[in-house]
Amino acid sequence: MAITETAKKSCGTCRDRRVHCDRVVPVCSQCSGSKLKCKGYAFRLSWPSAGDRRRSMAVKAPLHSLSRVRPVSKHLAHVSFWDVQMHRHLTALGHTRPLLQIPMPWNPSELELGSNDLILYFYTSASQSLTTFGHDPQALGQALMRIALAGSTPSAAAVFNSLLALSSLHRYGVQTQAFRLKIATIKALAAATTCNLTAREVIQHAAAGMLLCSFEVHQASCTSSQWTWYISGVKQVLNAPCLKHFSRDSDLNALMDWVYYHDVMSRFTLRHWHGDVLEIPPKPSDMCRKEVYTPVRTAIGFHSTDAELQPTDQSMLANLELLAELSDTVMARPQDSMSVQQMEDYKGYIRILDWRVRNIPTQSKPTSDREQTVVAELFKLATLVYLNRISGNLLDQTDSIQANLNRAFTLFSQMDCCERQYPLFILGCEARTDEQRLTVLDLISRTEKRSSSRSLNHVRILVQALWAQDDLAEKELDYWDKLSSIISSCTIIPSLV
C-alpha cells in the first residue's frame, strides 16, 4: 500500500476558507471534493487587510507641502592614504609630493553613427556643453555649425570633424569613434597648413582648435593633457595678419570670447600647477598704464562697439579681465622679497584691485537671465576671496570675506546647477562645516545630472583633497602652498572652465 505524502501545513485555499485540510500533496482532498482550485503549500505574501492594526500602519501626510524642499543626498568625504601623504608633504614631514591619478572611463563599444545623426545631436544637446562665458552655449554651437559649413576646404572639414568628435564623445563617452574623428580633425588641420590661409580659413582653424580643446576637457582624465596646447595654437593662428581687416560679426565675437575665457582660466591654473612665484611687480602707477595682459580680442584688433557684437553681459568680460590681471601681478608671500616702500605700494595696488572687483556690475543688461546673473556674482565673489587669500590677507577683510562666503553658499544651495568650475572650486574649497560641504557636493551632483554638463570629477576630487588637508592640519595652512600643492599633484593641468 502506497504511503500518501502530506505537507506540514494546510493549503492556501483551506486557510482562506478556515476549514480542515488533509494536506495531501500536490492537491488536498478537500479542494478536490469541493471542485475548488488548490493554492498549494508554498510560502505566500499577503497584503494587510483594511483595518488590520497588527500588520499595517498608516501615516498621515504632513500638513505643509514639501514640494520645494530638495531631497537630502548622502555623500562620503573621507581621508585616504594619499591625503595623509599630501599632509606630510605640506608640513615638511615628507619630501615627495604624491601624484593624483584620475581614471578615464572607457566605452568598449564599436559605434558607427552617421554624420547626420551626430550633427543633429550636436545641435540639440552637445552644443549646450560648450564652456563659454557671457554667451549662450547653444548660440555658440550654431555659430560653429555655420563656420563648419562655410566652404569645402580642409579647414572647414576640420571644424566639421571636430563637431562630430565632440558630439560622439558627449553622447557615448570615451570610445573609438570619437577618437577616430579627433584624429581626422588633426589630419585636416595639418593639410590646411600646407598653403596660405585666408581670413575665413583662419577662423575655421581656430574653431576646430577650440572644439578639440572642448573634446579634451569634456571627460577630465589623466590622458587629456592636450587642452592647453590647443589654446596656445589657436592664439597663434588668430594673430594672422589677414584677420586685421576682416569684417567682424557676432560669430567671430563669440569665438574670440570663447578663446579668451579658456586662455584666462588656463593661465590661472598654470599659475598654481607649476607653483611658480612671480617676480616683484611694477609700481601701481606703472600697472595702471601698462597693459599687463593683452586679451585675444585686442591682440587681433577686435574693438567693436556695436552692441550686437558685444558679449551678452559686460560684467562677465570685466570679471575675466580682472582675473587675468590678478593672475599676472598678485604675488604669493610678497613680504618675503619686498622693501617697506615696495610693500606699501603693493598694498595700495591690491586695495585698488579689490575695489575694481567689488565694483563690477552684477548685471549690466536687464535682459540677462537669472542664471547668468548668479554665475557672474559667484565669479566676482570667488575672485574677491582668492585675492584676499593669495595676498595673505593684506587688506584685513576677515568679516567682509566671511560675508562673501556666506552669500556664496546661500547661492549654491539655491542653484539648480553650476557649470562654471572656477567659482565652484575657489568657493567650494572654503567650506568648513559639514553643512557647507554637503551643499557643495549636492550642487556638483545636480550639475552632473544635466545632459549639458561635462565631467566635474576633477573639481570634486580637488575640493575634497583640500578639505582633507584643512582637517588634518593643526593650524591654518599657507593658502598658496596648499592650493599649488594640490593642483600640482595632478598629472595633467586641471581645467577650471
Q: Has residue 194 got a pLDDT over 80?
A: no
What is residue 283's predicted lDDT score, i.e. its pLDDT? 41
Q: Over the stretch 63-92, which tens digit does the pLDDT of each residue have? A: 444 444 455 566 666 677 667 777 777 777
Q: Has residue 346 got a pLDDT over 50?
A: yes
Q: Has residue 310 got a pLDDT over 80?
A: no
Residues 116-122: contacts with CB within 8 Å, 24+ apart? 118/163, 118/164, 118/167, 118/168, 118/171, 119/145, 119/163, 119/164, 119/167, 121/167, 121/170, 121/171, 122/163, 122/164, 122/166, 122/167, 122/170
Closest listed residue to residue 468, CA positions, set 35, 177, 87, 197:
87
pTM over 0.85: no
Contact status, residue 419 vs residue 453, Cβ threshold 8 Å: yes
For every residue of 186-234, DSSP letters joined together read HHHHHHHTTSPPPHHHHHHHHHHHHHHHHHHHHT--TT---HHHHHHHH
The cell for 451 is 545632459
Q: Where are the domains of the chain?
A: 1-39, 81-101+114-488
What is residue 2's predicted lDDT score, i.e. its pLDDT? 59
* CA distance readout (Å), 357 to 209, 234, 242, 324, 328: 31, 29, 36, 12, 15
> What average pLDDT does range 346-360 have in this prediction?
93
What is residue 159's predicted lDDT score, i.e. its pLDDT? 95
Which residues have C-beta within 8 Å of that of residue 331, sequence separation ≥ 6? 277, 278, 280, 281, 337, 346, 391
Q: How far apart are CA 322 and CA 262, in angstroms?
A: 14
- Considering the domain 1-39 in this protein, what is its CATH number? 4.10.240
Closest listed residue to residue 436, CA positions, set 469, 462, 402:
402
H or E segment to which residue 129 belongs: none
Q: Has residue 411 got a pLDDT over 50?
A: yes
Q: What are phi and psi of 488, to 5 degrees?
A: -70, -15
Q: Please count the other Cβ atoms lying within 10 Å of the Cβ belonging to residue 57.
A: 8
Which residues have C-beta within 8 Å of that of residue 194, sequence separation ≥ 6? none
Q: How far apart are CA 137 and CA 151, in angstroms?
A: 23
Q: Has residue 56 got a pLDDT over 50?
A: yes
What is residue 363's predicted lDDT score, i.e. its pLDDT? 61
Q: Please count the other Cβ atoms lying within 10 Å of the Cβ belonging to residue 182.
A: 22
More confident residue, 283 or 44: 44
What is residue 10's predicted lDDT score, i.e. its pLDDT? 84
Q: How far apart are CA 218 and CA 168, in angstroms?
A: 12
Give 24's DSSP letter: B
- Which range has the worst mean pLDDT, 109-113, 315-319, 434-438? 109-113
What is residue 183's predicted lDDT score, i.e. its pLDDT? 93
- Which range has the worst mean pLDDT, 119-128, 261-270, 365-374, 426-435? 365-374
Asked, as a colleague might, if the bond just before 26 is cis with ω within 30 of 0, I would say: yes
Percent of the chain exceeding pLDDT 90 equals 35
Q: How far apart are CA 496 and CA 476, in angstroms?
A: 25
Q: Has residue 342 got a pLDDT over 50?
A: yes
pLDDT band at 291 (very low <50, low <70, confident <90, very high): very low
More confident residue, 489 or 438: 438
The cell for 159 is 571644424
- Which range has the worst mean pLDDT, 225-239, 271-285, 421-435? 271-285
Q: Has residue 354 got a pLDDT over 90?
A: yes
Q: Has residue 60 got a pLDDT over 80?
A: no
Q: Has residue 165 got a pLDDT over 50?
A: yes
What is residue 6's predicted lDDT score, i.e. its pLDDT? 80
Sign of the C-alpha dihedral computed for residues 37, 43, 47 and 50 taken in this order: positive
Residue that the C-alpha cell 601698462 belongs to: 290
- AA identity, residue 236: Q
Closest listed residue to residue 158, CA positions, set 177, 127, 186:
186
Q: Has residue 415 got a pLDDT over 60?
A: yes
More confident residue, 79 or 257: 257
Which residues have C-beta within 8 Å of that of residue 458, sequence separation ≥ 6? 102, 220, 490, 494, 495
Q: Has residue 198 got a pLDDT over 80?
A: yes
Mean pLDDT of the chain: 80
- Sequence length of the chain is 497
* CA distance readout (Å), 20 to 11, 13, 29, 38, 428: 10, 10, 10, 13, 70
Residue that the C-alpha cell 548660440 belongs to: 139
- Which range has the worst mean pLDDT, 11-15, 244-248, 337-341? 244-248
Q: Has residue 383 got a pLDDT over 90?
A: yes
Q: Has residue 490 got a pLDDT over 70?
A: yes
Q: Has residue 207 got a pLDDT over 50?
A: yes
pLDDT band at 101 (very low <50, low <70, confident <90, very high): low
Q: Facing residues of 24 across strands?
A: 6
Closest listed residue to residue 383, CA positions, set 332, 432, 440, 422:
422
Q: How far apart are CA 36 and CA 308, in angstroms?
A: 82
CA 316 from chain centre, in angstroms, equals: 18
What is residue 3's predicted lDDT score, i.e. its pLDDT? 67
At residue 79, the 3 state secondary structure works out as coil
Q: Has residue 301 got a pLDDT over 70?
A: no
